[in-house]
Structure formats: structure tokens, C-alpha cells
Amino acid sequence: MVLFTGLNWSGESHRATGTDALAQDIRRIGVPASIYRPGEWDRAVDDLLSLEPRPSAIAVYGYSAGGPAAARFAKRLGEAGVQVETLVLLEAWGSAEVACTVRLAVQYRLEPGDALSPARPQCTKVQNELIDAELAARGGGLGHLSVAVDPEVMRLVVQQLVQEGWVRRRDAGS
């Protein structure tokens, strides 16, 4: 599993954006998880491609500015012949094109905005989801910075990425 954090002013981007806590939760389930900053997506590709053996299933997460980095990472993996089971973006900045080697791409947003789209029509399944209004309104409401540390939202993300202690596998038609 590869996780891309968002940016923040403190320099502690892994912790401040919730990505560190998400990685810890995923690791507790038994799935290895690596964290990268958005500008490190090309290094993340090199790191993954150098693994022997390569992981049999790969899932990718990107929060905020990490969303476009996660999409670029998945595209470059595809160019190397590596399938990505699931790409999950949370409050990603800008639009992103999803490589056809991604089985399922899900983007969670608080408000309508730029959408994910497949590189070619119907080559991959893409879901653009608004976070449930009741969930978003709970406790004074969620914002761009708080959504990535919200326990309910993190449960949604983990459910997309992990199943029964493994990276969640997707059927070709799912």
C-alpha cells in the first residue's frame, strides 16, 4: 500500500494530514503501508518497482495535494505493467486522469468539484462520491483539513483499501 500525504505549513505533513495515523491503522490490520509526500511520487514508483518480489496487489491513497501525485504514481506503474487494485483520493486538488491499469478509482469530496475520469472511456471504474452530508455536518462540520483525521471518514477509506488483512482485490468487472 502506498499513501500520499497532503501539504501543510508545519512540515510534519504525515502526522498533520492524518496519513501517519491511517498508515498505522492499515499496518495494524497486517498490510504494509509506505508514506510519501506529493513531490516524491516518482521515487515511490522506483521504490515499488525495485521490490523483489513485487507486491501481488497494490492500493494507493492520496489526500489533498497527494491526490494528483497518487494518480501520477498509478499511471507510471501502469506504464511498467503493474496493475493497481484501488486508487482512493480524499479531497484531491484538481482533476486527475485515471490510468486504465487501475481497477477501481474512488474520490471522496466534501463538495462537488473536479472529478476523476478514466484515461479512455470505460477502461476503468471511477466513482466520484460526496461524503455523506450527515457525516459532514456532525460535530460542527468537516472541512478540508479535518476530513483526513475524522474516524468515520478514515473507516470509509480503509474499507475501500483493505479487506480481511490484505489489499482489497477487485474483480475485473467491479
Enumerate the domain spans of the chain: 2-167
pLDDT band at 13 (very low <50, low <70, confident <90, very high): very low
Q: In the structure grid, which three cell numbers stand for residue 76, read together?
A: 507510471
Average model confidence (pLDDT) for the chain?
A: 87
Strand order in the sheet with 59-63: 34-36, 2-4, 59-63, 84-90, 102-109, 125-130
Q: What is the four-CA torsion angle of 38, 135, 98, 7, rounded to 10 degrees?
A: -10
Q: Which is nearest to 129 in space by CA: 174, 171, 160?
A: 160
12 has pLDDT over 70: no
**How long a stretch of residues is the chain?**
174
* CB within 8 Å of 163: residues ≥ 6 apart: 169
CA distance 10 to 94: 23
| Domain covering 2-167: architecture | 3-Layer(aba) Sandwich (3.40)
Of 145 and 102, more confident = 102
11 has pLDDT over 70: no
pLDDT given at position 133: 65
Specify the pTM: 0.90
